[in-house]
Structure 1
Amino acid sequence: MVILKGDERLDYLLAEDLRIIQSPSVFSFSLDAVLLAKFVRVPVHRGSLVDLCSGNGVIPLLLSTRTKGHITGIEIQQRLYDMAVRSFEYNALTDQLAMIHGDIREIPKEIGFSKYDVVTCNPPYFPTPSEEEINKNEHLAIARHEIMCTLEDAVRVSSQLLKQGGKAAFVHRPGRLLDILSLMRKYRLEPKRLQFVYPKEGKEANTILVEGIKDGNPDLKILPPLFVYNKNNEYTQEVSRILYGEK
């Protein structure tokens, strides 16, 4: 039994056989979050993981099928936090998954420095525009723009949370590639794996996935490209497996 509020609905995460509460009036999860949850390397049997800018908790839900470790999501928006908590309860995952309603910039002081094995983050992608340009929907504005946290905040906090040798993984836009790699090195997160995601063959990349290791040795590997759609504008086999599971 799940209590839905207002315009909320209960959607499927098909590959994982889970359900998630979503709402059209707040920022719903995108393919980027699903790709990040699939991309990051996680300990299988144990470990402590943190998901920053967690939204409605989609990444912790997805990761729960890949690891038995404990996963904590951090979300500053009360409504999204509440949706995530109820999704975790509906899927009977409250022993493994938890949410904290808070500002990621303050979270290391609350949950501890240098304690975690993995940190994931799907941060706001865009600099804060002028008041005239910003989305009038506060939920969408905060999710899309660097109002409550910047890319540097996300990278710095990830490093503060991680143990030496811990992994941080981010999803972002290719236009910020140099920024994110520079910031990772600034905060001792050595970039180790990078993947470009393309809408289809012949198009420019529109997403990057990058993973670093705290105090790791320099050795960046560029993974094979990931194409989302084929020439028939259908999901490629690889993306279809990620979204819907093996058929």
Structure 2
Amino acid sequence: MQNLLKDDERLDYLLAESLRIIQSPSVFSFSLDAVLLAKFVNVPHHKGTIVDLCSGNGVIPLFLSARTNAKIIGVELQERLFDMAERSITYNNLQHQITMLHDDVKQVTPKIGIEQCDVVTCNPPYFLAHEQSEKNTNEHYTIARHEIHLTLEEAVYAASRLLKQGGKAAFVHRPGRFVDIIAAMRKYNIEPKRVQFIYPKEGKEANILLIEGIKYGKPDLKILPPLYVYTKEGEYTKEVSEILYGE
């Protein structure tokens, strides 16, 4: 265990999946957004290739490994997060299924293969580079949360280049960028097919957007029922509790 963890890292449970993940409060800890995206996206059960862009500490590849036997590739720019992801994958004995690439999303497509992938997931930076009031003074969090190295449009373009015809791309973002993400998806031939808005609780505005599209798909957008995270009493709703902790 001592060789597994570095500095202020800890080994957390992914409860519903019976997996463990290395996290660090000063570098990166995954949020509910990643969990919801991993549950939202449609994935092949057996064969195929799934690519997760902006993987962070590998949380989405780990979650997806519990849903599919397909090959999973994670792409992460920050070396420290890439290293954490690799150690988590090894700890869970998933090296046969999950591969991490320490690379830039904008440059990685030729290395994975153009139009070779069945599914692409992405939890991209949410905030524009100039949104100074939202910036975190921690460099790791700033890069993960702000469009310093990767914009929303660049993330959608990368996903489109990776996907086969009929392949699926799924993103999680802020509802305020809904029009932007729709525009980018259509610009790069990913037709939006499923959208779900996540609300902190009933009576509040949505604060998370999940969207999935199909490469060269036909127009037919479905708005899924809303998902509420907390009850009026401040407890997780039944739906979210099942996502986090299992049945």
TM-score (norm 2): 0.97
Give, in angstroms, the shift of residue 243 of structure 1: 0.1
Structure 2, unpaired ranges of 5+? none
Once residues 176 and 195 of structure 2 are traced to their aligned partners in structure 1, the CA distance between those partners, rounded to angstroms, is: 14
Residues 31-71 of structure 1: CA distance to partner in whole angstroms, max 9, x if unpaired? 00000000000000111000000000000000001000000
Q: Secondary structure at the match of 1:104?
A: coil
Which residues of 2 match residues 12-91 of structure 1 at below 5 A? 12-91=13-92
Change (3 A) 1:207 1:131: closer
Once residues 245 and 63 of structure 1 are traced to their aligned partners in structure 2, the CA distance between those partners, rounded to angstroms, is: 14
Which residues of 2 match residues 78-117 of structure 1 at below 5 A? 78-117=79-118
Q: Secondary structure at the match of 2:186?
A: helix
Residues 118-141 of structure 1: CA distance to partner in whole angstroms, max 9, x if unpaired? 000000000013779743211010
* Code of the aligned partner of 1:117: D
Once residues 232 and 74 of structure 2 are traced to their aligned partners in structure 1, the CA distance between those partners, rounded to angstroms, is: 37
Once residues 185 and 140 of structure 1 are traced to their aligned partners in structure 2, the CA distance between those partners, rounded to angstroms, is: 29
Q: Secondary structure at the match of 1:217?
A: coil
Which residues of 2 match residues 158-173 of structure 1 at below 5 A? 158-173=159-174
2:127–2:134 Cα contact (<8 Å) kept: no
Number of matched pairs: 246
Q: Secondary structure at the match of 2:16?
A: helix
Once residues 159 and 194 of structure 1 are traced to their aligned partners in structure 2, the CA distance between those partners, rounded to angstroms, is: 18
Residues 94-141 of structure 1: CA distance to partner in whole angstroms, max 9, x if unpaired? 000010000000011221100000000000000013779743211010
Q: Secondary structure at the match of 1:55?
A: coil
Once residues 44 and 4 of structure 2 are traced to their aligned partners in structure 1, the CA distance between those partners, rounded to angstroms, is: 33
Which residues of 2 match residues 1-247 of structure 1 at below 5 A? 1=1, 3-129=4-130, 134-246=135-247
Once residues 155 and 133 of structure 1 are traced to their aligned partners in structure 2, the CA distance between those partners, rounded to angstroms, is: 23
The alignment-based identity, stated in percent, is 69
Residues 130-185 of structure 1: CA distance to partner in whole angstroms, max 9, x if unpaired? 77974321101001100110000100000000000000000000000000001000
Once residues 205 and 132 of structure 1 are traced to their aligned partners in structure 2, the CA distance between those partners, rounded to angstroms, is: 21
Once residues 62 and 13 of structure 2 are traced to their aligned partners in structure 1, the CA distance between those partners, rounded to angstroms, is: 11
TM-score (norm 1): 0.97
Structure 1, unpaired ranges of 5+? none
Change (3 A) 1:193 1:89: same
Q: Secondary structure at the match of 2:106?
A: helix
* Code of the aligned partner of 1:29: F
Give, in angstroms, the shift of residue 202 of structure 1: 0.5
Once residues 187 and 132 of structure 2 are traced to their aligned partners in structure 1, the CA distance between those partners, rounded to angstroms, is: 31
